[in-house]
Chain A
Amino acid sequence: MEGADAVTTPVLQLHDVRLQRGPRQVLRGASFDVGQGELVAVMGPSGSGKTTILRAIAGLEVFQDGRVTVGGVSLTAGDHDSATLHALRRQIGLVFQFHCLFEHVSALENVCLAPVHAHGVRRDEAERHAHELLKAFGVDHRVAALPRELSGGEAQRVAIARALAVNPRVLLMDEPTTALDQERRGELGALLRNLVGQGRTLLVVTHDEEFARTYATRTLRLSDGRVS
């Protein structure tokens, strides 16, 4: 299924987001909705603003016009205040293209850190949950490993576990298949499909047509700063 069809109960909404970086207009009024339980792929040529959309949703980019709403929390144009950002970030998890695992701590601590420090979860409870997540993603044997000791696929699974550890409503992923071979792509697709099956909402930026075709419930095309 392709196109920006209306969604009955949107969890994530972009409304006419315009973002300029220096002289360049990166987003020229991007609008779309993502409903609960969808796996939406965002595709487009390099430099079309795919990653910028994810960053704008996560509050990492200031946009000049429009609105982003996630789970009822809205970011508007201009600088974001910290209370709004905090509320918004409770709704999302972001898996970076290069994972960005915290390099100085173990895989387990990467997953536990936010629940303990940002959400006040007791450490033993956070560790138990982290073990469960890492086990579900098949990397529970790597809990003590440092990020640099993990393979690309392992690091990605730990990064997904880290993002899910705070139980976000929407999981944002940036080019998740870039460093994966065919077999690993299949494993990742199955894993994401499983998450959707559990009622999670996923927005995945990718340039991988086959992956999008196989696993996405819907694909958005980004071109010239607009979504179609």
Chain B
Amino acid sequence: MAQTPAFRWAGDAEGGAPFVEADPSQPDTVVGFDVEVAGLLARGLGREPQFVQITFSSIDQSIARGDADVGLSGVEDTMTRRAALALTIPYYEFREVLSVRASDTTRFRTLADLRGHRVATLSGTIAYDLLLRAEGVHGIEAVSYEDDVHPYSDLVLGRVDAVLLDHVLAERRVRTLPGFAIQPEAVAVGHYVGALALAHGGLRDTCNDILRAAMRDGSLERIFRKWGVWSGDQARLYARLLAGESIPPVSLSRTSGMKEDALESAGTISPRQATERYLPSLLRASGITLVLSCLSMALAVAVGIGIATGRVYGGRAMRTALIAYVELMRGTPILLQLFVLYYGIAEAIRLPAFAAALLGLALNYAAYESEIYRAALEAVPQGQLEAARTLGLSERQVLMLIRGPQALRLALAPMTNDFIALLKDSSLVSVLTVMELTKQTQIFATNLGSWVLPGGLCAALYLAMSLPLAALARRLERRWKAQTP
């Protein structure tokens, strides 16, 4: 007899408690209310639950491609998801709440009060869609984060002026991070659901039966009470569900000042409409990518030349210090360097996101550039340098007039490679809330429920930036090659 397959459920343990988190006493296992909901479903199905770690923003795609049977990690009910996946009935109702610094509680009560201010949230969520809509309606600036911790720490630091997120997340954070308060009135109401692939409609229906039974017998209530997130909202939600009522994915409050229709239509629009809707923001994000890459590369080249010159001409102490810098920057992940620059030193130096991104990329790439220039400087034949010296040129003039220009020609090809690599690595700065091309594409894909069109557009935009650059470099290289033996 074939063994019953495990019930694979996807979640993101990085999301933390009370959803899913690694058990502090047993880091190999996960705990949280979603873990218990998964256990409840598995028991109802007569299968063993098996946790599959999936990044929060990729859960939909992973479910669609069959990495797990169901996604459960504070997965929100949206029209887009309803179109792309088979969703269970909602098992939890949450409120989108505004958090503001303690000193701003009377000043910023609603989104409308935040005109001209930066409001943070987690990307790929209903809250982010709300903020994008509020950019047009209330004139706020939406700032997207990859996690739900840094929006609050940046709120306290003053980098943003409000955070819009689920009350579950806000209440968890307010207990550990002093300095901000949650506004009592919700901006919207949403729901957590289980997400299954469209082809698993049968399994979804069984899951719904299990959830209804758990609503009736109090199992779900016990789970949420255990994790301290039970409220009367859940009791009302369960009563409506058990009465056969259909629940709209999102309900906006009156004070949000917005309508639900525009928020929820992304999943049902045609590719052409989607392109028309998202292309302007993709082009804007491309502009940011290009400006950021050009400025970072210019700074990396300048710093790299300085390091290379110091390594070739400097004394022992300078050479040792520069080697240490190069090895540190090359030997540690750029993502870590970006985090340290933006969050790590924020108490001492509060860099704006774009400046931190620019500096982070430039300082990292400077290490690589310096190695290219050092090798190029050392590759200039000694005869060239000696000829210049015997003509009476100073060492500085030899460097500026003979060695440097010849080295630059040798360095051009690897430099071009690095610039194209930097263009793509600039996507990493989305972790610092900079909305560059890849991040914008990811949001586009999440809203649309598909990567095909956004991925194609994104690739076309990157190529539109990198191909002319490569062509220009080839031209320069050909021209300079004619001047070098």
Contact = CB atoms under 8 A, between A and B. Distances in A.
A146 B482 contact: yes
B397 A117 contact: yes
Given A100-B383, A103-B406, A117 B389 contact: no
A207 interface: no
A119 B394 CA distance: 11
B46 to A, nearest CB: 77
A188 interface: no
Contact of B386 (A85, A93, A100, A166): A100
B318 interface: no
Interface of A: 58-60, 82, 85-86, 89-90, 92-94, 96, 98, 100-105, 113-114, 117-119, 146-148, 162-163, 166
A71 B108 CA distance: 84
B25 interface: no
B483 interface: yes
A103 B409 CA distance: 11
Contacts of B389: 59-60, 85, 89
Nearest to A89: B392
Contact of A103 (B384, B386, B394): B384
Interface of B: 381, 383-384, 386-395, 397, 401-402, 405-406, 409, 480, 482-485
Contacts of A59: 389-390
A96 B390 CA distance: 10
A164 to B, nearest CB: 11
B387 A100 contact: yes
A104 B390 contact: no
A216 to B, nearest CB: 22
B397 A100 contact: no
B392 A113 contact: no
Most interface-central of A85, A89, A114, A166 (chain B CB within 10 A): A114
A89 B485 contact: no
A166 B388 CA distance: 12
A101 B406 CA distance: 12
B484 A94 contact: no
Given A89-B390, A117-B393, A119-B392, A98 B383 contact: yes
A116 to B, nearest CB: 10
Given A114-B393, A118-B391, 16 more contacts: A59-B390, A86-B394, A89-B389, A89-B391, A93-B390, A94-B387, A96-B386, A101-B387, A104-B406, A104-B480, A105-B483, A113-B391, A118-B393, A146-B483, A147-B485, A162-B391
A117 B389 CA distance: 12
14 contacts: A60-B390, A82-B394, A96-B386, A98-B383, A100-B384, A100-B386, A100-B387, A101-B387, A104-B406, A104-B484, A113-B393, A113-B401, A117-B393, A166-B392
B447 to A, nearest CB: 53
B391 A114 contact: yes
Contacts of A60: 386, 389-390
A114 B392 contact: yes
A166 B384 contact: no
Nearest to B387: A100
Nearest to B388: A102
Nearest to A148: B485
Most interface-central of A59, A102, A146 (chain B CB within 10 A): A102
Given A113-B401, A146-B483, A102 B392 contact: no
A94 B387 CA distance: 8
A141 B125 CA distance: 72
B386 A104 contact: no
A192 to B, nearest CB: 19
B387 A102 contact: yes
Nearest to A55: B386
Contact of A118 (B392, B409, B482): B392
A163 B386 CA distance: 13
Contacts of B406: 102-104
Contacts of A105: 483
A120 to B, nearest CB: 11
A102 B390 contact: no
B324 to A, nearest CB: 29
Contacts of A114: 391-393
B402 A102 contact: yes
Contacts of B390: 58-60, 89, 92-94
B170 to A, nearest CB: 62
A107 to B, nearest CB: 12
A117 B401 CA distance: 9
Contacts of A166: 391-392
Nearest to A172: B390
B313 to A, nearest CB: 14
